[in-house]
């Protein structure tokens, strides 16, 4: 049994969009009602958010999920 989920197969632009808005990880975490650790894990592709959270992130940045999250099809 593996305790870790490994690297996420989905890349994302959350960090770029957050920085562009001038927000800290803590600010974004507060807006999304998650921990700062979770925002950091998403930004570094160590955690793939659930669909509801991905939608919440997309809505926060005023775009759609596919514009932020990019699946690797290698």
Partner 1 sequence: MQTTTKTSRKYLATPIFATAMGVVYLVALSIAGDPVYGVFAFVVMVAFSGALLLARRRSETVKGLLDRRDERISSIDLRATAFSALAIIAVLMVAFVVQIARGQSGWPYSMIGFVGGVSYVAAVIYLRIRG
Please give the angle made by the CA atoms of 73, 10 and 2, to the nearest 5 degrees.
100
| Helix/strand/coil for 8 | coil
Q: At its nearest, how many Å lie between partner 1 and the CB of residue 38?
A: 4
Residues near partner 1, by CB under 8 A: 1, 3, 5, 33-38, 41, 47, 49-50, 53
| Residue placing its CB nearer to partner 1 in the complex, 4 or 74 | 4
How many other CB atoms are found less than 10 A from the CB of residue 12?
A: 21
Give the integer Cα–Cα distance in Å for 26 and 38.
10
Q: At its nearest, how many Å lie between partner 1 and the CB of residue 7?
A: 15
| Residue placing its CB nearer to partner 1 in the complex, 24 or 37 | 37
Q: At its nearest, how many Å lie between partner 1 and the CB of residue 22?
A: 22
């Amino acid at each position: 049994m593996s305790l870790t989920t490994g690297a996420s197969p989905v890349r994302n632009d959350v960090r770029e969009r957050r920085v562009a808005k001038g927000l800290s990880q803590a600010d974004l975490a507060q807006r999304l009602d998650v921990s700062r650790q979770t925002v950091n894990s998403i930004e570094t592709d160590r955690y793939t958010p659930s669909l509801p959270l991905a939608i919440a992130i997309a809505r926060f940045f005023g775009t759609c999920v596919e514009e932020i999250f990019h699946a690797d099809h290698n």
